[in-house]
Structure 1
Amino acid sequence: MFCEIVAGRAPCDKVAEDATTLAFMDIDPGSDGHLLVIPKRHSADLLSVAPEDLVATTLAAQRIAKAVHSQFGAEGVNLLNCNGDVGWQTVFHFHLHVIPRYRDKSKDRMESPFEPGMPSDADARAQLARLLSAALRRPD
């Protein structure tokens, strides 16, 4: 679907475009002004996106988040990537959601997907940290 948008064969409400990225409004927004930023070159997800496309997409998202904040009067902004179907990914072309956040619930339909303030077990957390740290030290 997103490759069709990049190719100009599917419509979108374009917000910004450069040589590497394209930003357009989300057709199923969680808040007023919710948009997507994608690399033009296809990659399925966060785990497969080329590093240079990840950097370009993230920098474009940051620039757009600043504009969302000032132009829409957003009181906050979420930058979200969903990876894999279990991670809520529904379109398998890497993308970042730029989601303006408002106290006014008529503009903002988003809810927190988890309940903050419920700390995990310290020993279990430390074990997970050790496992991940060791994996990151191994050569690819």
Structure 2
Amino acid sequence: MPIDATQPYDDQNIFAKILRGEIPATRLYEDAYAIAFPDIAPQAPTHILVIPKGAYVSWDDLSARGSDAEIAGFVRAVGKVARDAGLVAPGYRLLANTGLDSHQEVPHLHVHIFAGRPLGPLLAR
């Protein structure tokens, strides 16, 4: 169910539980600012999620409240995950949903990295 990204951070969301180690995830990458792991319901042959370690609901939330170090660290982590996975050539897509109209389902900022096949102009529904 889509969430309202203007609501306060819910520390019981699935990604908060992954960050705390309460729910297992195969960590493909981790640093001081972010972790990355495969999506449990992949929409492409490669589908990786990258989440910040800070309690941010959405991209808007991180950009408004995050420190310069958190913002830069998160953006750099997303790029490193894509490079380390060998996705720069032939290419990949980033997607970060924010709020109800985008169908954001987890109230913790996360970037989807899609790759592994021609993705077309938009993702299929």
TM-score class, shorter: 0.7 to 0.9
Residue 56 (str. 1) matches residue 73 (str. 2)? yes
Using the aligned pairs only, state the percent identity. 28
Structure 1 counterpart of 2:110, one-letter code: H
Please give the TM-score of this superposition, normalised by the length of structure 1: 0.67
Question: Could you say which structure has the greater relative contact order, defined with CA pairs below 8 angstroms and 6 or more residues apart?
Answer: 2
Q: Name the structure with the higher helix share.
A: 1
DSSP-derived class of the 2:42 partner = coil
Structure 1 counterpart of 2:101, one-letter code: V
CA distance in 1, matches of 2:85, 2:90: 10
Partner of 1:3: 16
DSSP-derived class of the 2:104 partner = coil
Using the TM superposition, give the Cα deviation of residue 47 of structure 1 relative to its aligned residue in structure 2, in angstroms: 1.4
Structure 1 counterpart of 2:30, one-letter code: E
Aligned CA distance change for structure 1 residues 113 and 17 (closer, same or farther; 3 Å): closer
Please give the TM-score of this superposition, normalised by the length of structure 2: 0.74
Aligned CA distance change for structure 1 residues 33 and 74 (closer, same or farther; 3 Å): farther
Deviations 1:41-90 (A, max 9, x none): 111111111143232121111111112235xx962100111110211211
Aligned pairs (5 A) from 1:1-140: 1-49=14-62, 50-51=66-67, 52-69=69-86, 75-103=90-118, 112=122
